Amino acid sequence: MKGNFTFCNPTRLHFGTDAMSALAKELANFGPTVMLSYGGGSIKRNGIYDQVAAALAAAGKTVVEDGGVMPNPTVEKLREGAAKAKACNADLILAVGGGSTIDYAKAVSVSAWCDEDPWEKYFIRFEEPSCRIVPVGAILTMAGTGSEMNGGSVISNHAAGLKIGKVFGPDVFPKFSILNPEFTFTVPRRHMVAGIFDVMSHILEQYFSGDDDSTSDYIAEGLMRSLVASSRAAVANAQDYEARSNIMWTATWALNTLIAMGKPTDWEVHMLGQAVGAITDATHGMTLSAVSLPYYRHIMPYGLKKFARFAENVWGVASAGRSPEAVAADGLAAFEAWMREIGVAMSISELGATEEMLPKIADATFILTGGYKTLTRDDVLSILRKSL
Amino acid sequence: MKGNFTFCNPTRLHFGTDAMSALAKELANFGPTVMLSYGGGSIKRNGIYDQVAAALAAAGKTVVEDGGVMPNPTVEKLREGAAKAKACNADLILAVGGGSTIDYAKAVSVSAWCDEDPWEKYFIRFEEPSCRIVPVGAILTMAGTGSEMNGGSVISNHAAGLKIGKVFGPDVFPKFSILNPEFTFTVPRRHMVAGIFDVMSHILEQYFSGDDDSTSDYIAEGLMRSLVASSRAAVANAQDYEARSNIMWTATWALNTLIAMGKPTDWEVHMLGQAVGAITDATHGMTLSAVSLPYYRHIMPYGLKKFARFAENVWGVASAGRSPEAVAADGLAAFEAWMREIGVAMSISELGATEEMLPKIADATFILTGGYKTLTRDDVLSILRKSL
């Protein structure tokens, strides 16, 4: 690996069927007022809310309810949550849910005591927090975003037609996260596979970049092999604990900065997917799957060596005596077959996008420069058209 | 993965050719008195000592010299260092060296203010520290032990014929570590390959255990593939930065608890190697290589599935239509060929062990129960005899 970097990840993770038993000890590290952030009613139906409420009561905490965090958390909800956290002087924001809820909690944590508008400061100007940061703890109910062990936060501004991710530093990472794979058993199948594809996309977008021999790429290959094996098992049986636990753990390590260390990263699929999401409000993982194959087939000639390696090391494509082009194409074909097998969205039309929307989606697509090919606006439009 | 676990690794790592530039900022987090622990004179010859001394002077620190840490740090040196750290009321122990120096610094950190004898408390009774812990920072000059991002500390008691490792918790992990792969360029070839084998052994001893499908094993396979590729490059050219940086990074992740998460671990090769080391004082990595093949061939029938997987996924052994025994044997043959290629010790005789010493080495070998086969004393003696 060539790059200079600092790695620091202070989040404490409690993993497994007994993970919730660590909550009492974690709560003892914080003051009396806890803002409890969560999404819709699913945690009330599956009993997780009751477990958390009991632990908070036993710890003598004052609980400020903050439900209704939506799947693509909005800037309006962020402003409301920030005002609430400030008003109650929250000592901890406890996020119970998937990546959206935890992303939201992190955004609130740096906004409650911020004198400026958080959308402008963090998501438009990409500045770092300069105010008091309210600590965040997380109880994860869905595997995918990796938000439980990183500083990422994606917020949607529908009025502006924008969905933007900001990556905060270790001060904003959750102080602790509770990961019980059983909590993911009741996630609807469509959201489970969207989460799985989100994880795959995180890995791929850090893998398809750079030209040196880097340990990070070997770790990425290991994570992908594990994910492919476990996704097949989980699709066959949603209650397969071994598979669900591997998926949850892979999700965490796919996006906690480890596999990006010492190398450039791409992230253009997320830019395209987030632009689709900003216009359609579709499920995040499905926006990524819908644009991935046109994108990767578009950039393959520029990173051919890595695409051939992907084919061999992740999908077991035989390479002896064959051209790298043929090997690489077989790798993407195997990737496509796996996508169809687990059942992710294969087009943006399925997500509600139309030909007429493409210029607007292209406008909302940020162009990044870390991958094998920096896209032009024509490239973006061509990829979106092939994604229809 | 089946297990319940907590993962927490708070060490901040600065990696790359510019890593030393982070030292000034790190030093600002600690009080005025720094105990500077290091080994022999190599850091004075290669200029690293001068760089560190300049940073300490610029930070206005009072430096208490603590050189002479030996390759297998002794309990006598530990007691001397603990008394020194207490006498000067050290605010930071800055360890400059390889794993031995950092292991020693961690042992001193929990011994300076300990009212009991540290050997008895930590290495015989395996207790946790209950006293004030002096913070440790590390500047790594040799890749291998992973001591830069874990709580491990191995101390030798030659009078008792014992070399024992204690694994402390995150409070004892280095607060920061500085990893500049260029610092390893001047490590003598024999020590470089001993370090490489130590890394391989760390990975294998966490890999050869458990029977479930676990993400940890896939990550381990990725680390091994990276290490094999980079070790060959580094043996061909010791100044190959790409290879040396991959080796250094792989060493860190091979033993910072990640790949042990959610699964049992073996560690019997370290028990055998440390017993050899306690009697012969041989280089740690070489004691591991000298016993590995007899050990793994001995336990292979009990973990056949994993040994066949090792052959396929790490060494590319073809498996179609072949028995797992044949595939697994080919994997160990490929492993042996790699060991001979990089030039590690292939027998304990080369390290000074004799037939007469075997009962004493067997007496000093702790028997662990996490691997595929719990050894009997006869097993230990048989493995040691085959290692001669």
CA distance B146 to chain A (A): 15
Nearest to B223 among A218, A246, A253 (CB): A218
Instruction: Tell me whether residues A5 and B17 touch, CB distance under 8 A.
Output: no
Say if residue B16's pLDDT is above 90: yes
CA distance B179 to chain A (A): 10
- Closest partner residue to A13 (CB to CB) among B3, B7, B243 is B7
**For residue range B278-312, what is the model confidence (pLDDT) as tens digits?**
899 899 999 999 999 999 999 999 999 999 999 99
- Asked if B213's CB is within 8 angstroms of A233's CB, the reply is yes
Q: How far apart are CA A241 and CA A224, in angstroms?
A: 18
State mean pLDDT over A206-215.
97
Contact state of A213 with B220 under an 8 Å Cβ cutoff: no
What is the residue type of B367?
Answer: I
Q: Which CATH class is domain B189-387?
A: mainly alpha
Mean pLDDT of all residues belonging to chain B: 97
Q: Classify strands A162-167 and A152-157 as parallel, antiparallel or unpaired.
A: antiparallel
A-chain residues near B14 (CB < 8 A): 6
pLDDT > 90? residue A11 = yes
The ipTM assigned to this model is: 0.96
pLDDT at B41: 82
Predicted local confidence at residue B273, as pLDDT: 97
What is the nearest CA distance from A99 to chain B, expressed in angstroms? 20
Question: Would you list the domain boundaries of chain B?
Answer: 12-183, 189-387
Residues of B in contact with A261 (CB under 8 A): 15, 249
pLDDT tens profile A94-108: 999 999 999 999 999
Query: Is B220 within 8 Å of A223 when comparing Cβ atoms?
Result: no
pLDDT the model gives residue A375: 98
Tell me the per-residue pLDDT of A14-31, one tens digit each, with 9 for 90 and over: 999 999 999 999 999 999
> B14 falls in which pLDDT band (50, 70, 90)?
very high
Determine the distance in angstroms separating the CA of A218 from the nearest CA of chain B, rounded to an integer. Answer: 5
- What are A140's strand-pairing partners? A97, A179
Q: Report pLDDT for A214.
A: 97
Residue A40: is its pLDDT beyond 90? Answer: no
Query: How big is the CA angle at B356 (ends B352 and B361), to the nearest 5 degrees?
Result: 70
pLDDT recorded at residue B44: 93
pLDDT on residue A333: 98
Q: Which of B1, B12, B247, B319 to mutate to test the interface with A (most CBs of A within 10 A)?
A: B1
Task: Quote the pLDDT of residue A41.
Answer: 82
How far is Cα B71 from Cα B286, in angstroms, rounded to an integer? Answer: 13
Quick one: pLDDT band at residue B2, thresholds 50, 70, 90?
confident
Please report the DSSP string for A344-365 in residue order.
----SGGGT--GGGHHHHHHT-
- Whether the CB-CB separation of B204 and B259 falls below 8 Å is answered with no
pLDDT of residue B116: 96
pLDDT in tens, B313-353: 999 999 999 999 999 999 999 999 999 999 999 999 999 99
CB contact under 8 A, A6 and B14: yes
Helix (H) or strand (E) holding B36, with range, is strand B33-38
Distance CA A71, CA A275 (A): 15
pLDDT of residue A36: 98
Average of per-residue pLDDT across A242-270:
97
The nearest CA of chain B is from the CA of A348 a distance in Å of 32
Alpha carbon of B7: minimum distance to chain A alpha carbons (Å): 5
Question: Mutate which of B17, B18, B217, B219 to test chain A, going by most A C-beta atoms within 10 A?
Answer: B219
A162 exposure class (CB count in 10 Å sphere: 0-12, 13-18, 19+): buried
- Residues A269, A205 contacting (CB under 8 angstroms): yes
Return the pLDDT at A126.
Answer: 97
d(CA B117, CA B103): 17
User: Best interface-test mutation with A: which of B9, B29, B215 has the largest number of A CBs within 10 A?
Assistant: B215
Which residues, 6 or more positions from B328, have their beta carbon under 8 angstroms from its beta carbon? Answer: B300, B304, B307, B308, B310, B311
Q: What is the pLDDT of residues A219-246, one digit of tens each?
A: 999 999 999 999 999 999 999 999 999 9
CATH 3.40.50.1970 assigned to B12-183: yes
What pLDDT score was predicted for residue A28? 98
Predicted pLDDT at A338: 98
- At residue A2 the predicted structure's pLDDT band, cuts being 50, 70 and 90, is confident
**In this complex, do A246 and B22 lie within 8 Å of one another by their Cβ atoms?**
no
CB of B101 closer than 8 Å to CB of B35: no
- In sequence order, the β-bridge partners of residue B164 are B155
Question: Percent of chain B scored above 90 by pLDDT?
Answer: 96
B255 token code pair: 């033993």
Give chain A positions within 8 Å (CB) of B219.
Answer: 219, 222-223, 226, 253
pLDDT of residue A299: 98
CB–CB contact A8 B13 (8 Å): yes
Q: Is the pTM of this model over 0.95?
A: yes
CB spacing of A245 vs B1 below 8 angstroms: yes
What is the predicted pLDDT for the residue at B182? 97
Q: Which chain B residues are Cβ-neighbours of A3 within 8 angstroms? A: 16
Residues B147-156, mean pLDDT to the nearest whole number:
97
pLDDT (tens digit per residue) in B308-318: 999 999 999 99
Q: What is chain A's mean pLDDT, rounded?
A: 97
User: CA B89, CA A110: separation in Å to the nearest integer?
Assistant: 38
Neighboring chain A residues of B249 at a CB cutoff of 8 Å: 1, 215-216, 261-262
Report d(CA B88, CA B61) in Å as an integer: 13
d(CA B281, CA B291): 15
Measured CA to CA, the distance from residue B367 to residue B364 in angstroms comes to 10
Q: Is there a contact between B1 and A225 if contact means CB atoms under 8 Å apart?
A: no
Pairing of strands B152-157, B176-179: unpaired
Q: Which of B3, B213, B242 sits opposite A212 (nearest CB)?
A: B242
* Per-residue pLDDT reduced to its tens digit, A133-147: 999 999 999 999 999
Mean pLDDT in residue range A53-77: 97
Tokens of A144: 């995918």
Distance of CA B311 to the CA centre of its chain: 24
% residues pLDDT > 70 (chain B): 100
Rounded to an integer, the average pLDDT of A272-290 is 94
